[in-house]
A and B are shown apart, each in its own frame.
Chain A
Amino acid sequence: MRYLRLLRLQLRTALLLALQYRLDFLVKALLSLAWVSVALVPLVVLFHQRDDIAGWRWPEALLVVGFFSLLKGVLDGAIRPSLQEVVERIRTGAFDFLLLKPADAQFLVSTARFELWNFADCCAGLTLIGYGLAHSGHRPTLGGVLLALALVGASLLILYSIWIIVVGLAFVAVKVDNLTYLFGSIYEAARWPASVFRGVLAFIFTFVIPLVVMTSFPALALLDRLGPRQALGAVAGAFVFAAVARALWLRSVRFYTSAGG
């Protein structure tokens, strides 16, 4: 209960801060929407030439992009800013103040900063999902929707865990900013339907950095095309990822030596 109250407090602070610079907020929200539109252009041109790509039709590919934007909104709005803030605090030693607070360090680290204008991406994602679903001619079942929601939750958990692992590295290596950009660019590959990747890449993007799971699985779930084994595997994998991340986090914090030593 206490943690929910803390979360609400952090969100409110972030909102107040964001609204202080209203023009900035608007410009950045519009920019993130511009990115979503721009990224759709290759897909539009592609489907202009072909009716389907590796078994995915236009509305179905839109679903994948929709889930991608939804996850990206949360990633850029909540996960990335907090963890970048933390890396900076580790570097300057201000992390001490965070450790001194009477709440779990990982929670405080994860809610350190929000960039609320990036949630415009979430709205764009939901719009794309709605549009894709409407045009796919498929009526989603309740089971499908619930499964898709569960998979989105699992995907967020995986993304969050990967980031925590990266931040854990910051205790040892300090300058991990570049890793955050690297991850951001690799994540862009999740925009495309799973069957585009074959061979080694398909393996990497399913089991090592499960991008394919994050965006294509929810889309398949909504279309009622996802097998129960795959869905269960994805959710179980997410929990395993989270457990590993938590364990690594607890170990990494012990490596923290403040700026003074």
Chain B
Amino acid sequence: MSVAVAVWWPLRLARLLAALLRVGLAQALAYRSEFIVWLLTTNMPLVMMLLWTTVAKDAPVGRFGQAQFGAYFLLTMAVRLLTGSWVVWEMTMEIRQGTLARRLLRPVHPFLAYCAEQAAAVPLRLLIVLPLLVVMVGWLGTGQLSREPLHWCLLPLALAGAWALLLSLMLLIGALALYWDSAISLFELWLALYFVLSGYTIPLELFPAGLRAVVTWLPFRFVLSFPVELALGLPSVGAALAALAVQWLYVLALFVAALTVFQRGLRRYAVFGG
């Protein structure tokens, strides 16, 4: 009997996931115009690229010449587009408007539904990022990219880790919305720090040494700069593996925190009849 259950439960889960992913993909396709607009909104790396290449025109900044800045910021844009999520806004809105109750009625943990929705959007993101990468290779060639096969093996894991880290963080902040109405301000704070500390506006290499040592282990780097560094072949093998481990540790910690806060917060939420 227990064997049958052990086989049946994963099958059920797999079917559930497949259904959720299908729905998620349909949703993402339905909102494609919003997607395109959001895509155009993520233009800061391009502006920063302009700025830094202007600076580097006369003389390189550190090891960065114009080509290096170009490769860096185009890769940054690609990683950002690929690993983005919007679950924090969805969650805070649903909690505020009370529509979370609808999700709670379903035989699926809301987190699973949220994750599936975001995962379903990844193929669309890939579709958008590929032309960008083609442009980059066409313009700059492959001279900037890493020659070490290990970097390329680790890259999908790093990208998945970046996506999962951001998602877990968003789920945590969304769960905090069960306690605090303006939990979205926490996400805006994260965004403000992310702009500086993740390599979005400045390559982390250009930070002064002391600050750089700190920033290397903060979660911001693992959401953006780490995959880019792998693609550019910057870290050594040991450093890359260590960084990957730290990245997934962050993912685990944030996800567990999100689950805990959500469980506790739900009890409070139910009390208010929401």
Residue numbers of A with Cβ under 8 A of B are 24, 27-28, 31, 34-35, 38-39, 41-42, 45-46, 48-50, 53-54, 178-179, 181-182, 184-186, 188-189, 192, 195-198, 201
Contacts and interface: CB of A to CB of B under 8 A. Distances in A.
Interface in B19-55: 33-34, 37-38, 40-44, 47-48, 50-52, 54-55
B182 interface: yes
Contact of A186 (B43, B54, B62): B43
Chain A contact residues, majority secondary structure = helix
B50 A182 contact: no
Contacts of B247: none
Contacts of A201: 50
Nearest to B46: A189
B50 A178 contact: no
A182 B185 contact: no
Contacts of B217: none
B161 to A, nearest CB: 24
Nearest to A24: B182
B83 interface: no
Contact of A31 (B50, B55, B185, B202): B185
Nearest to B195: A38
Contacts of B54: 53-54, 195-196, 198
13 contacts: A27-B185, A38-B196, A41-B196, A42-B48, A42-B196, A42-B201, A42-B202, A49-B55, A50-B61, A181-B38, A182-B40, A186-B43, A192-B51
B44 to A, nearest CB: 6
B134 to A, nearest CB: 21
Contacts of A46: 51-52, 55, 202
A54 B62 CA distance: 18
A92 B202 CA distance: 43
Contacts of B181: 24
A238 to B, nearest CB: 24
Given A27-B182, A54-B54, A182 B192 contact: no
B50 A196 contact: yes
A216 to B, nearest CB: 14
Contact of A178 (B33, B188, B201): B33
A69 to B, nearest CB: 14
Interface string B42-86: 111001101110110000011000000000000000000000000
A41 B37 CA distance: 27
Interface of B: 33-34, 37-38, 40-44, 47-48, 50-52, 54-55, 61-62, 181-182, 185, 188-189, 192-193, 195-196, 201-202, 206-208
Chain B contact residues, majority secondary structure = helix
B50 A197 contact: yes
Contacts of B52: 46
Given A50-B55, A192-B51, 17 more contacts: A24-B182, A28-B182, A31-B189, A31-B192, A41-B196, A42-B51, A42-B196, A49-B55, A53-B51, A53-B55, A54-B54, A184-B41, A185-B40, A188-B44, A195-B54, A196-B54, A201-B50
Contact of B202 (A24, A41, A186, A195): A41
Nearest to B35: A178
Contacts of B188: 31
Contacts of A197: 50
Nearest to A50: B55
A50 B53 CA distance: 13
Contacts of B44: 185, 188
A181 B61 CA distance: 32
A84 to B, nearest CB: 15
B192 A178 contact: no
B201 A182 contact: no
Contacts of B51: 42, 46, 53, 192, 196
